[in-house]
Structure 1
Amino acid sequence: MTTLFLITLLQTDPYSGMSSGETAAVAGLGVGMVLFFFAFLFFFLFCMFKIFKKAGREDAWGAFIPIYSSFIQIDIIKRPWWEFFMYWIPFYGFYLMIVDLNRLSKFFGKSEGFTVGLFFLSFIFLPILAFDDSKYNPDALPDLRNK
């Protein structure tokens, strides 16, 4: 039965009702969305690069490498390296993300309100953190890496 359905589905042309102009418009919209996504992604990664630079990291370029950037961020907020694997535990990883955003805010001299902003409106508050004149204070919170 499923095979018959798939054969019937493959024989239909989903674009038979669209003119070439409509097809071009849909394709252009798709390309535009992809370009917007990559521009937003590059801006986000550049903000992380600036935050890593403000924290005094020599390897700030690591912001552009997916898993390595997580390890850099964990090191900046002075948490143990194995915490990266804790992010994958359901619910606890979500809680840990909020705690780590709070630690990141505190290391740059920001309040809990800024943490809420980072959580809900990260596309606004991350550039604020990257481009404002706040300084990284490595002594703001205790170092949890040695425990």
Structure 2
Amino acid sequence: MDTLSRITDRADLFALNGVTGVLTFAVYVVIVVALWRVFSKAGYPGWLAIIPIVNVFTLVKIAGFSAWFGLLYIVPILGFVFHLIVSLRVGRAFGHGAVFSVFFLWIFYIIGFFVVGFGSDTYDERRIRS
């Protein structure tokens, strides 16, 4: 077996190919659709949901933080906790309580963002300032 074929065989294990790639892309499109509506309701351009890292910074801004706080997602344990805080504040900004925010914006975030984006919720930044 030549070296090139061994390298490509190993690369197939890590590449997003076949069914995995299609499913990953489908989930990404669903998340973009949900975030697009959430961003539009919050007064931000919806197309920001398409760009992977930018959508995290925009979500942090919707939560009432500076976009620079989005860098906290890089820190391993702190990113996990900060994502919970952002979820709680986004939920509060759209008029939801802590239970909804934890279950639907933190754990099952795809469902939660669809509920927020396509529901009758309105964004009010004053809810997170008080």
Question: Shared fold by TM > 0.5?
Answer: yes
Superposed CA RMSD:
2.2
Distance (whole Å) between structure 1 residues aligned to residue 24 and residue 75 of structure 2:
28
Distance (whole Å) between structure 2 residues aligned to residue 126 and residue 41 of structure 1:
13
Which residue pairs with 1:18 in the alignment? none
Mark the runs of 5 or more structure 2 residues left unpaired by the alignment: 7-16
Q: CA deviation at 1:81?
A: 2.2
Alignment: residue pair count: 117
8 Å Cα contact 2:37/2:46 also seen in 1? yes
Q: CA deviation at 1:31?
A: 2.9
Q: CA deviation at 1:102?
A: 0.2
8 Å Cα contact 2:58/2:67 also seen in 1? no
Which residue pairs with 1:16 in the alignment? none
**In the alignment, structure 1 residue 123 sits paired with structure 2 residue 110:** yes
Q: Which has the larger radius of gyration?
A: 1
Distance (whole Å) between structure 1 residues aligned to residue 96 and residue 42 of structure 2:
14
Which residue pairs with 1:133 in the alignment? 120
Q: CA deviation at 1:90?
A: 2.2
Distance (whole Å) between structure 1 residues aligned to residue 107 and residue 54 of structure 2:
24
| TM-score (normalizing by structure 1) | 0.71
Amino-acid identity (%): 23
SS in 2 for 1:56: coil
Mark the runs of 5 or more structure 1 residues left unpaired by the alignment: 1-5, 11-29
Distance (whole Å) between structure 2 residues aligned to residue 76 and residue 134 of structure 1:
14
| TM-score (normalizing by structure 2) | 0.79
> Which stretch shifts more, 95-104 or 31-40?
31-40
Superimposed CA distance per residue, residues 81-111 of structure 1 (whole angstroms, 9 cap, x where no aligned partner): 2211122122111111100000000000001
Which residue pairs with 2:46 in the alignment? 60
**In the alignment, structure 1 residue 37 sits paired with structure 2 residue 24:** yes
- Cα distance, 1:123–1:76 mapped onto 2, change above 3 Å: closer
Superimposed CA distance per residue, residues 91-141 of structure 1 (whole angstroms, 9 cap, x where no aligned partner): 111111100000000000001011121222223222111111100011111
Amino acid across the alignment from 1:39: A
8 Å Cα contact 2:37/2:117 also seen in 1? yes
Distance (whole Å) between structure 1 residues aligned to residue 110 and residue 55 of structure 2:
18
